[in-house]
Amino acid sequence: MSEPLWEVFVRASRGLSHQHVGSLHAPDAAMALRNARDVFTRRQEGVSLWVVPAAAITASSPDEREAFFDPAGDKVYRHPTFYEVPEDVQYL
Amino acid sequence: MITRTDLSLATYCLRLGDDALVMSHRFGEWVTYAPQIEEDVALANIGLDLLGQARALLTRSGELAAGDGPAATEDDLAYWRDERAFTNVHLVEQPRGDFADVTVRLLWFAAYQHALYAALTDHPDPTLGGVAAKAVKEVAYHLDHATQWVLRLGDGTAESHRRAQDAVAAVAPYVDELFTDDELVTDLADAGLAVLPSSLRAGVQSVVTAVLLQATLTPVTPTWHARGGRAGVHSESMGPMLAVMQHLARSHPGASW
C-alpha cells in the first residue's frame, strides 16, 4: 500500500511522557489514531496516543554522528554525578 | 426446577450469543486478507471482542437451560450443535465478500448491537446485564471503525464508491431480520426480560442512514427479506462455515491447546 507512514507515541499512565513505540501505515490522521489504538494499545499499554506523520520528522543523519555526538564523550563534568538522588524520587 | 421463563431467557441469550459467535468467525476469516496489516489487526480485534461476548452469552444460556442439572458449556454449544440449532440472523453468516461488504455489514451490525446492549445494561439477570455493560463500550468502537471506513470508501475514489454502494445493496435484504419480533421475545419483553427488536429499528436506521448519506452513498430498499435465522433456517453459506469452525473440535474431541 502507498499509504503514508505514521510514528506512534503512547503515554503509559498519567504523569509520564509519551514514548515512541513504532510506526504504521494509514490513509489519514484519524485512521492512523485508530490503527495505533488497535496495534499498540490492545493490552492496556496506554492512556493517551499521539500519531505524527513520519514525513514531518527531521532526523539527524548517520553521516553526522561523529560531529553531533562524539564531542560530548569526554566531558564528564557535564554529568550530574556529584548529586545523591533521594530514593523516593520516581521517574528520574 | 426449570421455569418456562428460564428456558425462554436461555434461548434469548443463545440468539445474542450465536450472532456474536458467527460474526466473530467471519471476522477471523479476514486475517491476512485485509487491505493492510493494520486492518488485519483491527478486524481481528473486533472478532475477539465478539468472541468474548459469545462466550459469556453461550455459557449463561447453558446454565439457564440446565436448571440444577449439568449445564451445556460454551464449547458444547459452539462446536456440537448442528446448523438447524443455530439461532443467529442471516446477516452475520454471509460470506466474507470484499472489504466494502464487511465494512457496511459491520456498520449495520454494530449500530444494532450498540442500541441493543445499551438497552440491556440494567437487565435483571446479572450476567446478561454485565455482558451488555461491558460490550456496549466495545461495540461503540466497532461502530466508529465501520463509520470511518464507510465514509472513506463511499466518499473516496470512483472505484471505492461503486463497491461501497454495491455493498449497501448487498446487505439490505438482511437488515430487516435484526428488527423482527417473535412470540418468545415478545413474551420476554412483556416481562421486562428482553429488548423488543422492533423497538430498535428507528434509532439504528437513523444512525446508519446518516453515515451513508455523509459518505455520499444511497440507502437501498431491498426487494426481499431474509427470514428464519432465529428458528434455525439458514442460508447456503452457513453449513460450510460451520464445517470449518467445528472441524477441529469434532475431529479431536476433548483436545485442548
pLDDT at residue A92 greater than cutoff 70: no
Chain B residues with beta carbon closer than 8 angstroms to that of A39? 38, 41
> Is the interface score ipTM higher than 0.85?
no
Does A49 reach chain B within 8 Å, measured CB to CB?
Answer: no
Q: What percent of chain A has pLDDT over 70?
A: 98
CB burial of B201-233 (b: ≥16 within 10 Å; e: otherwise) equals beebbebbeebbeebebeebeeeeebeebbebe
Question: Each residue of B160-205: pLDDT tens digit?
Answer: 999 999 999 999 999 999 999 999 999 999 999 999 999 999 999 9
CATH of A5-60, one of 3.40.50.300, 3.40.50.2020, 3.40.1670.10, 3.10.20.520: 3.10.20.520
Residue B147 included in any domain: yes
Residue B256 resides in a domain: no
pLDDT at B43 over 80: yes
Cell 442500541, residue located: B115
Name the residue range of residue B245's domain: 4-251
Nearest CA in chain B to A27: B152
Q: Where are the beta strands (DSSP E) in B32-128?
A: none
Residue B187 forms part of a structural domain: yes
Q: Which residues of A touch B45 (CB under 8 A)?
A: 38, 42
The answer to whether position B52 is within a domain reads yes
Answer whether A31 sits within 8 Å of B36, measured CB to CB: no
Report residue B155: phi and psi, to 5°: -105, 35
Which pLDDT tens digit goes with each residue over B14-30? 999 999 999 999 999 99
Q: Does A5 touch chain B (CB under 8 A)?
A: no
Pick the residue with more confidence: A92 or B88? Answer: B88
Question: Chain A to chain B, count of Cβ pairs less than 8 Å apart?
Answer: 29
pLDDT 10s digits, B119-155: 999 999 999 999 999 999 999 999 999 999 999 999 9
Which residue out of A1, A24, A31 would a mutagenesis test of the B interface target, given it has the greatest number of B Cβ atoms within 10 Å? A31
Distance CA A19, CA A22 (A): 9
Q: Phi/psi at A22 (nearest 5 deg)?
A: 155, -165
CB-CB neighbors (< 8 A) of B41 in chain A: 35, 38-39, 42
Asked whether residue B23 is assigned to any structural domain, the reply reads: yes
Q: Determine which of B32-36, B89-93, B98-102 has the lowest per-residue pLDDT on average.
A: B32-36
Give B91's contacts (C-beta < 8 A, 6+ positions apart).
B105, B108, B109, B171, B174, B175, B177, B178, B226
In a domain, B56, yes or no: yes
Q: How far is A29 from chain B (nearest CA, A)?
A: 11
- Please indicate whether, in this complex, the C-beta atoms of B148 and A30 are within 8 angstroms of each other: yes
Could you give the CA distance from residue B104 to residue B11 in angstroms, rounded to a whole number?
28
- Inter-residue contact B113 to B132 (CB < 8 Å): no
Count of structural domains, chain B = 1
Average pLDDT value for residue range B106-112:
98
Task: Please indicate whether, in this complex, the C-beta atoms of B38 and A42 are within 8 angstroms of each other.
Answer: no
pLDDT of residue A1: 52
Distance from CA of B148 to the nearest CA of A (A): 7
pLDDT tens-digit map of A4-49: 999 999 999 888 899 999 999 999 999 999 999 999 998 888 899 9
Q: Which CATH number goes with the domain that contains B53?
A: 1.20.1260.10
Closest CA to B61 of B102, B17, B19, B92: B17
Decide if A39 touches B, using CB distance below 8 A: yes
Number of neighbouring beta carbons within 10 Å of residue B62:
21
- For residue B172, being part of any structural domain is answered with yes
The answer to whether position B257 is within a domain reads no
B145 vs A34: CB contact, 8 Å cut-off? yes
